[in-house]
Structure 1
Amino acid sequence: MANVLQIADALYAEDRDAKTLAQRVASKLERDGVTNLPLLTQENYATGRTPPGSLVRYVGMVQDMGNPEFYAPSVSVNGTDVCVAFRDELPAGADPSDATLADRKPFFCVAPPGLTDWASPRSEVPPPPPSTSQATKRQREESDEQPAQKQPCGGNAFAYSSTSAAKAVSTPPGVLVRVYGDDGPRLNELVEIVGVVGGGLTTTGLEVTEEDDAFDRQRLEDEQAWDPPTSKVARLHALSWRRLDPSHPVPPGALDKATADSIRIALLERLSMALDGDAIGAEYALCALLASVDKRKDGRAVGALSLGLFCEAAHVDRVAQNLARVFGEVLPRVVSVKTSTASAPLRSPGSERLAMSSLQICDGSALITVVDGQAPASPAAAAATSALRQLYGSAKQIPFNFGFSEVKVPCDVVSVRIGVTDGSIECDVDLPLKLSQQSSLPDVSASTLAIMRQYVAAARRVIVDIDEEGASGLEDQFVAARATGRLPSRDAEGRLHQWVSVSKLKARALGSVHMNPPHYNEAFDLEEERANRLKERTKLMRTMAPPPPRSVQHGFRSGFLSAKEVGLAD
């Protein structure tokens, strides 16, 4: 089969349409049955097993987006028009002065944060690069004093190669992807990209000098931020890309109702052990695990459920670790953060690149936040607190601060907060834990875990509706609960919303698309137990709170403070 770049050259020669070239190359490869492409990983790239020109696939999260840039799909070489699409260098003798320009969009992608071991890609080692005896004769190395100029095929900077850059080779932290022909993916999306590995430009040749004014300095820094050395960041020219399901690599599937209940019970037992025998806590943890955003309406993420767990300080870290382990057994990505060190997506002043943060995660992940205090007051700490509140609040979104503007990106993650207090992070549901029996989590067989993963992935896709019969039964239960005092009138509306949310998740856990009486009856029992625990916690906190100063007590009793008590008399 012809080299992928040769295919691109031939297709471009047919109509010189750069806008659809990537799509046509991808279609040609699909018709030719090109499959089983090597996976572009840090190891394969750093060891030279996916050299420039290789056709690969890449799986990652979109961490940052750059401004559209211009490139030349073809240039004149000694009077002949030559295609240079999907390359980072122009051939010798190229004259780009009269080239017709097209546009493309750069994205910076990283490995999905919190990727669990079982969800990590298998080690697919492509054939090693040719040995020295088989490789093309290497050109003479240039000295650092007189670098050889290389013309870039596009992008925002000219570049030069040097031996000093070659000495600075390190494992790339991510991949710079250039998308052709469309707007490309969005921030935080999990994507699979098929493309051509770029290369050749090892370091930028643009340097800030004393003669540059402030505008030039900023422009050069901006260009360098999106044209890093290939020795540090791999480059990938995308031929095609697609959004992956949040459950990736677990394939989508339908929930088998015949086995759903038995798997649910097994998962509840495992969650109960993680929470030291708290069966009620396990029920709510399963609800949080299966909750996902069905739709967004009036600024609220309908269907999502964030869970706040309270326990004594001595148990917080252990419970968080246990829960992260169980979630990590069935979810492909789990991220654990602490309120004192959490960071939000923030582009620092003077930078054109978005710094990676602990709260930038893709849909389908689990976020477990341990409340351990607050970081020292700073803009970054305030941004992190705001991000946590929006992630756990009704909006379920991540604010991205780009300096000149803030973009709020919708997010659909499993979110659990654990601590002695709530840390000023409100959740949809709060539950004080009752830890009874501390025990270590036993290992589970690989076959059982595979079944649980399929169950969780399928259950999270179930959409539960409330039909007329279900709505009527729910209304009757609601009225009866208020009449008997089981549901206090002062917070009836809020309790009803939580009741309906938990009822839907109980139905989802069994694979039912309709909410029936057993679902909301069980949900009401759970909500009643949760309300009792919250009352007990409130009473306990009142008894543990220090008494107010005597002067305040006297003022409350008499309705005013004396002149002596407020310091106006001797």
Structure 2
Amino acid sequence: MDTWTPAYCIDNIDECKRVLLTPGNWEKVPFLLDRQAAVGTLVRFKGMIQDMLNPDYYSKTFSVVNSLTNETKVYQGKFSSAVRSKEDEEIHFGDDLMERLPVACIPIPGLNDWVKNVESSNGLNETELEENFAKRIRLDPTCQKRSNEVFVLIYPEDVDSNELKLNRVVDVIGFYDHQYVNTDDESQEQPLDVKASYCVHAIHIKFQPDPVLCGSQLTEKCIWEEASKIQEELKLVLTQALLGDSLAANYLLFNLVSTIYNRQNNQVPGKFALNIRGIPQDIVVDYTSKLYSLISCLVEKSKYFPITIDNMNNTDLIPRKCYTTNRLLNGFLQLSSKTHLVLDETNLNPGKLENKGMLNLQAINDIISNQQVKYDFMYYTIDYETEISVLTLSNGKSLFPFDIDIVFKPDPSCIGNIEETIGSAQTYLNSQSSLLEKIRKYITIISSMDFNFNEDILKIIENDYVAMRKADPKNVSPDDLHRFMVISKLIALCSGKNELNKEIWESCKALESERKIRNK
């Protein structure tokens, strides 16, 4: 692979793909780093599709004629962004125009440091890539808005373009090049001068890259067999993080592992937006950020957003189209699937939400309620589906909707030692590297395991639900049935069972009963 050139791959594309997909070879391709890659080098890039641009057209073949010797050389235009010639050479383009699709990619938003460290040990030094991006910002102020972009050029004959979707994470191998694009200062009426940007001509793309821990010795079978034990350890850690509140720890565990399944007709079964409320005001300064820090050590992708009047009125949460540059401008809520979003309302004070603040409020509501974000195209909006797990931390009842809420009830002995209490949980995890790896993979895969509701248990659930409706018709709705079904499924999966039984169903009812009593 080290000797591959664009010309070689054009003539042997199927063989090149076969070699790349041979186990172990994909990881051998060097990761794209600013100071290491030379034009024409085979590189690998992993990122999120942030924008999809209009098709680009190129000549399949072109000839270069030396005006002094009349010598003619024929070249292929594929896997190249620019035609380079000398002063005494003329270029003649052919009539065989071909189409390629440029997509703008950025480093995966919310990717946590431990993931970058794991990928670095596997040769994917994303931290160094981001540092090089930052270095380029300092050197070239015109690059500040899109300094972290990598353009990936898709060739439809090699890659299924139907798989291209905004916010999708892609793992690309291709040839490094420079793409010359207009800078995008939207305050200018006309585009500014062109600048060079990173560019990768894709040979092959993995549209659903494996989780970062897939290369470890831990198989799904291993995690499944140890699920019950891992659940106990994780609940112990979360109870410590929640200052001794074991009931809230159950629901936080469900929030971390939950996943959407079988989305249809505007219904989003499986979502588990959690509001932990009643966090004492006197512990807020130390507590919520430390809780998030621990969560970020467990999940691959997460984002933290403090809900304040100033943040709501001034932060660009919603992606929007700039027609001056014909580009989609990134927003905070443009996230890839399986990202965990933590909203911290504990420092929210009274104030007025302006128009932008109201739009941001609605955008967050849409994610929680419908798992959608309305992207702003100025004259209209387009709904884009999301798969973002939302946890809201608040003093009182949340400003936002939720699927489940629970009043926070910490152990009084822990309140005075927040740093020590959460620190001990972090220290425990750091000292148990094997356990920490298992917990991380458990969170990633456990809720996606196969599951079955047999006819017998469905009949029991139906009878219980009918009895609940008769006993309290005003307060029991179909939403309650959905919540019970989701929680019972999560209880089963978290303990390593792929079928619901009566014992688990009763556990679900008991858990919900305890929560409702506390919330009164």
Q: 1:206 to 1:331 in 2, by over 3 A?
A: closer
Q: 1:507 to 1:206 in 2, by over 3 A?
A: closer
Q: Does 1:173 align with 2:148?
A: yes
Give the one of 98, 117, 123 matched to 1:102. Answer: 98
Alpha-carbon distance in structure 1 between the residues aligned to 2:267 and 2:292:
26
- Structure 2 partner of 1:60: 47
- Structure 1 partner of 2:479: 494
Point out the structure with max Rg over C-alpha. Answer: 1
Name the aligned partner's letter for residue 109 of structure 1: C
Q: 1:30 to 1:415 in 2, by over 3 A?
A: closer
Q: Does 1:270 align with 2:237?
A: yes
Q: 1:249 to 1:347 in 2, by over 3 A?
A: farther
Q: Does 1:380 align with 2:356?
A: yes
Name the aligned partner's letter for residue 236 of structure 1: V
Alpha-carbon distance in structure 2 between the residues aligned to 1:62 and 1:73:
26
Name the aligned partner's letter for residue 6 of structure 2: L
Instruction: Give 1:33 shift.
Output: 9.0
- Structure 1 stretch displaced more, 54-63 or 372-381: 372-381
Give the one of 458, 466, 470 matched to 2:457. Answer: 470
Instruction: Give 1:503 shift.
Output: 0.9
The 5 Å alignment of 1:532-551 reads 532-535=517-520
Point out where structure 2 has 5 or more consecutive residues left out of the alignment.
66-71, 126-138, 416-420
State whether residues 370 and 418 of structure 1, in contact with CA within 8 Å, keep that contact through their aligned partners in structure 2.
Answer: yes
Helix, strand or coil for the counterpart of 2:406?
A: strand
- Structure 2 partner of 1:117: 113
Q: Deviations over 1:230-272 (max 9, x none)?
A: 2xx3111111111235743445724644421111011011111
State whether residues 270 and 486 of structure 2, in contact with CA within 8 Å, keep that contact through their aligned partners in structure 1.
Answer: yes
Q: 1:387 to 1:207 in 2, by over 3 A?
A: closer
- Structure 1 stretch displaced more, 64-73 or 291-300: 64-73
Alpha-carbon distance in structure 1 between the residues aligned to 2:183 and 2:258:
50
Q: Does 1:310 align with 2:254?
A: no
Name the aligned partner's letter for residue 501 of structure 2: N
Q: Deviations over 1:131-175 (max 9, x none)?
A: xxxxxxxxxxxxxxxxxxxxxxxxxxxxxxxxxx99989994121
State whether residues 337 and 369 of structure 1, in contact with CA within 8 Å, keep that contact through their aligned partners in structure 2.
Answer: yes
Alpha-carbon distance in structure 2 between the residues aligned to 1:205 and 1:368:
33
Q: Does 1:185 align with 2:164?
A: yes
TM-score by length of structure 1 reads 0.73
Q: Deviations over 1:252-303 (max 9, x none)?
A: 7246444211110110111111111111110100111111011112201111
- Structure 2 partner of 1:82: 75
Give the one of 84, 94, 111 matched to 1:91. Answer: 84
Q: RMSD over aligned Cα, in angstroms?
A: 3.3
Helix, strand or coil for the counterpart of 1:347?
A: strand
The 5 Å alignment of 1:323-402 reads 323-340=291-308, 341=311, 343-348=317-322, 350-371=324-345, 372-373=347-348, 377-393=353-369, 395-402=370-377
Helix, strand or coil for the counterpart of 2:442?
A: helix
Instruction: Give 1:423 shift.
Output: 4.8
Q: Deviations over 1:323-357 (max 9, x none)?
A: 32332222111111123325122234634222222
Q: 1:409 to 1:467 in 2, by over 3 A?
A: same
- Structure 1 partner of 2:422: 440
Name the aligned partner's letter for residue 400 of structure 1: Y
Q: 1:37 to 1:433 in 2, by over 3 A?
A: same
Q: 1:469 to 1:75 in 2, by over 3 A?
A: same
Instruction: Give 1:96 shift.
Output: 4.6
What count of residue pairs does the alignment treat as equivalent? 464
Instruction: Give 1:473 shift.
Output: 1.9
Alpha-carbon distance in structure 2 between the residues aligned to 1:493 and 1:32:
48
Q: Does 1:235 align with 2:204?
A: no
Alpha-carbon distance in structure 2 between the residues aligned to 1:400 and 1:167:
27
Helix, strand or coil for the counterpart of 1:321?
A: helix
Give the one of 209, 233, 257 matched to 1:290. Answer: 257
* Identity among equivalent pairs (%): 20
Alpha-carbon distance in structure 2 between the residues aligned to 1:519 and 1:30:
42
- Structure 2 partner of 1:461: 448
Helix, strand or coil for the counterpart of 1:389?
A: helix
Q: 1:203 to 1:258 in 2, by over 3 A?
A: closer
Instruction: Give 1:512 shift.
Output: 1.9
Instruction: Give 1:10 shift.
Output: 4.1
Instruction: Give 1:98 shift.
Output: 4.1
Alpha-carbon distance in structure 1 between the residues aligned to 2:185 and 2:110:
36
Instruction: Give 1:496 shift.
Output: 2.3
TM-score by length of structure 2 reads 0.80
- Structure 1 stretch displaced more, 449-458 or 307-316: 307-316
Q: 1:304 to 1:202 in 2, by over 3 A?
A: closer
Point out where structure 1 has 5 or more consecutive residues left out of the alignment.
12-20, 127-164, 209-216, 536-570
